[in-house]
Amino acid sequence: MQQDLVVAIKLKGIKPCVTRQVQVSSNLGLDRFHQLMQVVMGWENTAPHLWRGWDNDFGDPRQFVPPGPQDERKASVADLFTTVGEVATYQSCFIEVRPSFSFLKRRIASGKWMKR
């Protein structure tokens, strides 16, 4: 079931703290979420990247030696965040400064927001 999710993005390892919040559909593909990240953070799509969830890694298989992570083109934001409060990371160019995502809240059928 498609739901709207609010995801907090926080860069780790830098000061001052850089944060963003985005509202996305739970069925948004992780490859498209990667493109959204580039725009929201003001980055250019010039380096390999990796999504690290609680129990799964996702990425572009063309950037990794097999077996590598699961194909992000076949996964959605819902595959990365399954519960409110869950945290994932996005590593670009495999550097230490990277965003940490927190799934903050989800829209329920009544149209109200459920907070964590």
Domain holding 40, by residue range, is: 4-115
Tell me if 57 sits within 8 A of 6, measured CB to CB: no
pTM: 0.77
Q: What is the pLDDT of residues 32-60, one digit of tens each?
A: 998 998 888 888 877 788 888 888 899 98
pLDDT > 70: what percent of the chain? 78
CATH number of the domain bearing residue 24: 3.10.290.30
- Count of structural domains within the chain: 1
